[in-house]
Each structure stands twice: as C-alpha cells, then as structure tokens.
Structure 1
Amino acid sequence: MEVSQVLHMNGGNGDTSYATNSTLQKLVITKAKPVVIGSISDLYITNPSRCLTIADLGCSSGPNTLLVITEIIEAIDEICHELNHNKPEFQVFLNDLPSNDFNTIFKTLPAFFEKLRKEMGENFGSCSIMGIPGSFYERLFPTTTIDFIHSSYSLQWLSQVPAMIEINKSNIYLTRSSPPSVIQAYIEQFQKDFSLFLSLRSKEITSKGRMVLTMLSRRSQEPFGKECYFWELLSKSLNDLVSEGLIEEAKMDSFNLPFYMPSYEEVEAIICGEGSFYLDGLEIFDINWDGSDDDDNNEFKFDRFISGQKVTKLIRAVSESLIAYHFGDAIIDVLFNRYMEYVSDHFSKEGGKFVNFVISLRRK
C-alpha cells in the first residue's frame, strides 16, 4: 500500500465526511491556539515583515482548514493596531496529500475572504491562499521561503507501514500481543519520519522561522498503552468479521496502520538529535474520545450510545480510505456498526482520552 496515494480523510460534507465529523479536531485546535498565537506574534514582533508566509501541513478539508489561518490573521491585525504598524500581506499554503478534497476548500474561499473584510475592514491586507498537494515527508517549498509552519493531527501518520519481519497477527496497530520486532519497527519508522520531517522543514523555513505542531501522543512508556485502545477496538471489530467469514484471515493479518503515537521522551530526543530547531515548549493536554468536557460526563447528561456514535464517525472519517482500499467497500458499514457497539460498551465501563502534544519550535 502506497500511503501517500491511498490515505485521505473522507471528503465532501456528508454524514461520514471529515468535514462533518471533525469537531474534536476543532477543540484540539482551540486548546492549542495560545501556543500558535504566542509563537506567530513573537515572530512578527521581533521580525516585522511586509509579507508573512504561512504553511499549514495536513490541512484536510472542512470548517477547520481555515480556522488557524483566521486566528493568525486576527492576532497579527491586533498587534499592528497596537503598534501602529501597517498590516502585512499574507501568503498561505495549504498542504495535504494529493487525494485530499481540495475542491471543497477552494469553494469556501470567497466566504472566507468576505468574512475577513467584514471583521477587519477592506484594508485588512492582501491574503493569497494556494493548495500544495504532496507528502510532507518530501520537500514542498523553495529554500528559506516559509516564515511559520503549522500542523495539527497529521504527524502521527507515518510515511509508510513499517517493514516487519513478523506478522502482527490479529492486530492493526500495537497491542500487548504484538511481537517485540513489530513494536521496534513502528518506533524506528516514527524516528525516521519525524527526523526527516524536521530536516526538510529546516531547509524551507526562514532563519527566524517558527513551527507549531500538534499530534496525538501518549503519556505511558509502553507504545501499546491505553491511549491507543480505540484502535484495539477496531481490531476487535475486524476480527469479528473474520470469524463470520466476511474477511479473510490472511487479509486481516496483512493490514497494519501507518500510524504512531509517540511519547514525550521520543519526541524530545528526535528534535534534539536532528538538531535544526530549538524546542521552545511542549505542552500536553487530554481530550475525551467523544470531544465532550469532563463536566458533561455525568449520569444526567452522558449517553454512551451518543458518545459511541461520535467516536465511530470520527474514526471512520479518518481511516475509511485505508480500510476500504485493503478490505473493500462492502464491509465498511457492517464494520463500523460493530465498532460502535464496542465503543459504546467501553464508555459504559470507563471513558477514553486522546493525549495531545503541542510542540513549539524555533529555527536555529
């Protein structure tokens, strides 16, 4: 499987689309906002520029795609007002894999520009937005041309499924039953990919440039910690279909996700080892699987079936392209109905949380 050719979030605006099922990602972006705004504001104040060039890597499509760009433009506009500076122009590059639904993004641009003009006036500054299809594990931009790079919920996706010398039998990701060689293969693939990502961006970013990266991660030392249990429930659902004769066992055993949730120690070691960036900060926060606040999870408000449905639609929106490519479209509805049952049952016993890293980097 060529990940860059297959992987994409579900396009369009339908019931199973990423656009409709990305409210959790919006919450993550909102929680990471202070770090993003702090980084871009410090960059602009210390190095005022007539044009800020910004790249959003792994932009996907839907209402979140332009959210960070809006927040950045509003923050810079406020700084310019306080300092009595002329407003800079903005050059924005939206990057994702070629199969991403760029058309949906482009259709929203007229409304996006109109909203900016209403909020900031006609002289808010020129803003040019372009789509850049391609893998961020390759060069994307000319040397030293990007001032600020942002990426949210993308870097946990690997460039490829790790090469394994043993079968990760009955699993699609890491579990306690995964052979040590499989676990090591995942660790090494993430080390290789994240180090390559940093090296590539160091060539493209300006000498004073900044990056803010948000990714799914884990607090536990074990790569198969409870943070990734949502994938284990999907493995369980697929194995049910194997038992029922809807999926061949060999097909199941040959499917593994190009995905990895690193620990703090792993991320810090790779950044320091690659050597192109200063690590200005790394913040950690948790989000409930269903995107709810902890205060909502009480006997009067919490409904495990609604939560199960939300989680199922989220996981389907981000993983359906890979699953359908490997197993075919026919099993998708059955699979995710079964998955919803398992997730709902899990919520009846305990919750689930996604662990998130927000990493602030500065070019050396």
Structure 2
Amino acid sequence: MTKPIMKAAITDFLPTAGTTIPASFAIADLGCSCGPNTLFVVSDIISIIIDLCNATKHELPEFQVFLNDLPENDFNTLFSSFLPTFQAKLSEQMKSKYGALATLSCFFNGVPGSYYGRLFAQESLHFVHSSYCLMWRSQVPQGLEGNKGNIYIARSSPASVIRAFYEQFQRDFSTFLDCRGQELVVGGRMVLTILGRRSDDPSSDECCHHVNLLATVLNEMVSEGLIEEEKMDSFNIPYYTPSPKEVRWEVQKQGSFSVDSLEVSKVDWSVFDTSFDPNVVLKDREYGMTMCMRATAEPLLVGHFGGEVIDEVFKRYRAHLADHMSKQKTLFINVIVSLKKIT
C-alpha cells in the first residue's frame, strides 16, 4: 500500500536536486527493529532510484543507509543474519538489469537512539521512512490516575486521561518533526505509516480494541489473584493512534514540511492468518494476531508484572481474541503521510 506513495515521493524529489542526482543518497529507516522487513523497504527505495537513474540516463549514486532503533535493539542480529543475503540479492538484481559489470555501492549503518531526538547531522538525509512506529510515545503520559481498570484509552476513560494521551502525542510528534526538519535537506522527503484511526473519537474500537482486549485479560487475572490490583492500576501503554486530521494539524503547526499526500488504508486482522510460505498452515485464525500482539507488548508487560505471568496472559488473550473475531470483522487503520521538507 505504501510502495506507490514512496515511489511518488522519490520521483518528485530527484529533479529538485538540479540536473544532477546527488552523488551520495542518504536513506534512514526509523524504528527498523531487528528483522528483515526494514531491508525489504530499503530494497524498494534503492530499486526505485535505480530505475529513475536508468530512465533519465543519470549516473547511479552511492547509497548511505541508516537503520535506527532504540539501543536495546539487537543490531547484530539484523546485520549478521539478514544483511549478507540482502546484499547478495541486490547485487544479483543489478547485474540482471544492467549487465555483469554493473556495481552498486551501498553502505549500511546502525544508529541507536530515540527518534524523538536528533540522530543525524544537519541536512544530511534525502529520504526518511518509518512504518508502524510513531504510534508509540516517548513515555507514558502524566495524569492517568483516573484510568482505573484500563491500560490505554477506553470508553470508560475520563476526559482528562484522553487529553493526557493526546497531548503526549502532540509533544512527541512535534519533536519528531522538529528533528527531522533539521536533518533532511530542503526538498527531502519523508513517508510515515502510523497505526491510527478514521474516527475523530480516540476511544473508537477501530483503534483501541486489540489493546483493550489485553486489559480485559489483565483484569480477569486480577480478579483471580494472579496479578496485583495495584500493579494493574499503575500500568498504561505509551501509545496513541492518531487520526488523519491530528497528523495534518501537527505538520501544519510545526511548519518544516508540506503534506504531499495523506491517506488512510485498512488491513484486516485476518491477514495474519496467511503465510508467505504456502506449505505453512497456521493452527487457527487468531494465532498470528496473538503473536503480533505478544511481540510488541511482552517487553512492557514483563517489565511491569514480571515474566512468570506472560504465557498465561497470552493464552487467555488468544481465547478472547478468537471469540471477538468470530463475532465481527476487525481492521487495523493505517494513516500514511508523505511529507516534503520546505524550510
């Protein structure tokens, strides 16, 4: 869904560099994690630029690729397990398109640190990408004492709690835009995919239900004495799923970027039931979604409740999820925004 948007952003950018494409093209993927997905994106970006250079008879630039995540990310796994295979495939693609003598200069760097701060030198980047990261906040908002029984925004959350989550999003996203505004060259592009919502209501089920199912499980375990009530009441997820209006407003307010495009897409939860390998069949339709939730939530849960309850939490989560998915269609809503650096 985002690939055509990336292609349009890169195609629109390159002529602004003048008659010559930059000799070195700098790409950053923010929140890269430690799996191969980030390299799929990098491959798409490089392929788009290669095709554009070929069509316009420009010399191919060198590529500088920056892969960013928090210091806890295992960059060694990314570089040792996936990068060698990726580089070999990219080299093969180059030779198949442009002949046996074609070469590609591509240099990879790991950049540990929070993207809610400066990561790169002034005006050193040409293209920034981030996917499924910017719904995560830099910290749990202050003032959530009234959110008893919830771990995020819910129908029962008071207005002060909803406001606290929203204001934390405003601070974080504005800071993110400030930092990237300093790091991108004028005319540089940024494509961001954020888990969000269509509704103006922050407590809408379309953005909250997968999280609130987890709250249901934790409350169930509190009632059975498996989790302390005080721990439950003090646990909130540093998260916010913005609407397109909220994203546009922060971009306009901050002022470093213009909005090239702002789109909303839908992904059915059941997409996690399919595998790229047709020989692999998942046991049931809620398994993939449960594992997706566990991959993101487990570190937060372990840090707050301890590791001994985790297996039980996700065993119950899977059961609740199966019941929910049997009754209604469930969707993830993505907000995809393409931005141009203007000042």
Point out where structure 2 has 5 or more consecutive residues left out of the alignment.
96-100, 275-280
Q: How far apart in 1 are the matches of 2:210 and 2:197?
A: 13
Counterparts of 1:165 and 1:333, CA distance in 2: 27
Aligned pairs, number: 326
2:37 aligned residue (24, 43, 64): 64
Between the aligned partners of 2:285 and 2:158, the Cα distance in structure 1 is 32
Distance in 1 of aligned mates of 2:149 and 2:70:
29
Q: Distance in 1 between matches of 2:294 and 2:270?
A: 13
| Mean CA deviation greater in 276-285 or 118-127 | 118-127
Which of 112, 115, 132 pairs up with 1:153? Answer: 132
What residue is the counterpart of 1:18 in the other structure?
none
TM superposition shift of 1:307: 2.1
Percent identity of the aligned residues? 48
Query: In the alignment, is residue 129 of structure 1 matched against residue 71 of structure 2?
Result: no
- 1: distance between equivalents of 2:147 and 2:28? 36
The answer to whether the Cα contact below 8 Å between 1:89 and 1:127 also exists between their aligned partners in 2 is: yes
Aligned match for 2:165, one of 169, 186, 189: 186
- The CA RMSD over aligned residues, in Å, is 1.6
Aligned to 2:310: 332
Aligned-partner SS, 1:291? helix
Q: TM-score, normalised by structure 1?
A: 0.87
Superposed, 1:23-102 pairs within 5 Å as 31-47=1-17, 48-102=21-75
Aligned-pair CA distance for 1:180: 1.1
Residue in 2 that maps onto 1:27: none
Q: Which runs of 5+ in 1 are unaligned?
A: 1-30, 297-302
Q: Does residue 246 of structure 2 align to residue 246 of structure 1? A: no
- C-alpha distance after superposition, 1:79-112 (max 9, x if no partner): 1111122111100000000111211111121111
Contact 1:304 1:345 in 2 (8 A): no
Alignment match, 1:217: 196
Residues in 2 aligned to 1:144 and 1:81: alpha-carbon distance in whole angstroms: 26
Equivalent of residue 253 in structure 2, options 267, 273, 278: 273
1:256 is aligned, of 219, 228, 236, to 236
1:24: which partner in 2?
none
**Secondary structure, aligned partner of 1:154:** coil
CA distances 1:291-334 after superposition (whole Å, capped 9, x unpaired) = 269xx9xxxxxx99722111100000011101110000001000
Who is 1:16 aligned against?
none
Counterpart of 2:278 in structure 1 is none
Aligned to 1:172: 151
CA distance in 1, matches of 2:228, 2:146: 15
Match of 1:118 in 2: 92
Aligned residues of 1:167 and 1:253 also touching (Cα < 8 A): no
Give the drift of 1:72. Answer: 0.9
Q: Which has the higher contact order (CA 8 A, sep 6+)?
A: 1
